[in-house]
Amino acid sequence: MIITENLEFRYYEGSNEEVLDNINLKIEKGEFVAVLGHNGSGKSTLAKHFNAILLPSGGKVYVGGMDTLDESLLYEIRQMTGMVFQNPDNQLVATIVEEDVAFAPENLGVPSQEIRKIVDWALETVGMSEYKRHAPHLLSGGQKQRVAIAGVLAMKPKCIVLDEPTAMLDPIGRKEVIATLSKLNREENITIVLITHNMDEAVCADRVIVMNTGSIIMDGTPKQVFSRVDEIKSLGLDVPQVAELMHELRKEGFDAPSDVLTIEEGYKAIKSMLERNVQ
């Protein structure tokens, strides 16, 4: 779906500051990838290469096989990969929810009957149908982000890249957005690239990529990545509390497993540690 080859990026010609440094990455169709890294690690810069908002200073980015440096492919690339940003208030343009969702297909010249169908489907998919005639500014943050996602869906993308979509939301809003993404990934087979600081969200992904100073320094399943607790912490990031607890116990010499992320897994792990103690 997305391939980067020796991708480099500097903000201006001749700058010594490599914002992205030799990134080689392959994201398969249908994957759900979380990208972690502290502020300034290059993760948003990387994400903006996935639909040609930014273009490589060196190396290549291919989206669905299309080279992002080829200007003639720009519209196709942007249709294939949609983006959702952090602040829901900056992304909604119309005064009625369904008009906002219709914005992209209208611009793509889709016939109006078809637009009706696409908009209804998109709003249904994100669970916002009953709000289609509402004004976006009266919705909650989580609802606004779901409308923004519907707006991207209306372009029928193969991939959606989201840059900290839950950072400004409360716990309910976060859950709504993450559940929507999981559903799109599972049911519509849409590739999801989720940039986040929230470790509980990263646990929902199939794959976690960790960035630091413009490079990818870890790439694996959530279990593989979050078992490296000290490294993650030294990067200024967090791990799920259960993983941290297990890590702390290991440091004290207990035989606690390193592949535990959820409450359920933690429950089983500690139960079995207790049983071993009895023997």
Partner 1 sequence: MIIKAENLSYTYSQGGPFQKDALHAVSFTIKKGEFIGIIGHTGSGKSTLVQHLNGLLKPTSGKIYIDGIDTSGKKADLKAVRAKVGLVFQYPEHQLFEETVRRDIAFAPTNMGLSKEEIEERVEQACALVGISKDILDKSPFEISGGQKRRVAIAGVLAMKPQVLVLDEPTAGLDPRGREEILSQIKKLHKDIGITVILVSHGMEDIANTVERLFVMNKGKIAMEGTPLEVYSRYEELEEIGLSAPQVTKLMKRLFNVNVCTVAQAKEYLMGVLKRA
Residues that bind partner 1 (CB under 8 A): 38-40, 86, 140-141, 164, 167-168, 170-173, 197, 200, 236-238, 240-242, 244-245, 248-249, 252, 254, 263, 266-267, 270-271, 273-274, 277-278
Nearest approach in angstroms of CB 41 to partner 1 is 9
Cβ-contact 269, 256 below 8 angstroms = yes
Nearest approach in angstroms of CB 80 to partner 1 is 29
Those residues with Cβ within 8 angstroms of residue 89's Cβ, 6 or more apart along the chain or in another chain: 137, 144
Q: Which is nearer to partner 1, 56 or 88 (CB)?
A: 88
Q: Which is nearer to partner 1, 37 or 64 (CB)?
A: 37
Nearest approach in angstroms of CB 168 to partner 1 is 7
**How far is residue 112's CA from residue 202's CA, in Å, rounded to a whole number?**
38
Amino acid identity for residue 164 in this structure:
E
Amino acid identity for residue 211 in this structure:
M
**How far is residue 72's CA from residue 75's CA, in Å, rounded to a whole number?**
8
Residue in this structure with the two tokens 């599972």, named with its chain if needed = 186
Given strand 2-9, what is the order of strands in its sheet? Answer: 20-27, 2-9, 58-63, 66-67
Nearest approach in angstroms of CB 108 to partner 1 is 33
Nearest approach in angstroms of CB 84 to partner 1 is 16
DSSP 140-157: -HHHHHHHHHHHHHTT--
Q: Which is nearer to partner 1, 34 or 184 (CB)?
A: 34
